[in-house]
Amino acid sequence: MAQSTFSGPVLSQNGVGFLGSITPGYTGLTVSTVATSATLTYAVNTITVNNFTGAAAQVVTLPAATAGSVVVHAQSVDTTGGTNTLTFDCAGNDAFATGSIVESRTSSAVSFDTSTAGETQIVYTPANAVTNLFSIGSKIFFSCTQDGTWTINFDFKMNPASTGVTGTFVFAA
């Protein structure tokens, strides 16, 4: 195989280099369980287990986006408690990588929202029902390969009684 020289962050899987985002592994991360609160700040290299239900709005501030950092939101309960938002907010001047995509639901159909330059938030609005796409066991992975920029990946789990047809995620500034 010919040698290649890359400039900037490169992720590798099975020996093949590519640019983008993959779901990070859990090795070396710590686990922290938090109670629902109006505001939270997540720690770097941590899996944060959060019991957000939608009964009250919550804003989670991510740590500074430093290359090599990983942050995982692990949803510990079903999001059937209301329609208040869960907002993930970048710290300082950090932003989500332009062109990042998050799955959502609009009128019971799969949809996707794509980030534009400078967007600093991801906002989730649940339905007050067991039909949310984001429920117990869901995870959102934030990873950083370039200082100041977060990439996102997700593993949504629906309530076993759910159709997963409600709940919206959108990027915001």
Q: What is the pLDDT of residues 14-38, one digit of tens each?
A: 333 334 556 778 888 999 999 888 9
Rounded to an integer, what distance in angstroms lies between the CA atom of residue 14 and that of residue 162? 35
The per-residue pLDDT for 38 is: 95
Which comes out higher in pLDDT, residue 64 or 171?
64
Percentage above 70 pLDDT, the chain: 82
Q: 102 pairs with which residues across the strands?
A: 113
Residues whose CB is less than 8 angstroms from the CB of residue 148 and which lie 6 or more positions away in sequence, other chains included: 65, 93, 94, 95
CA distances from 113 to 23, 39, 102, 103, 104 (A): 19, 24, 5, 7, 7
The per-residue pLDDT for 19 is: 46
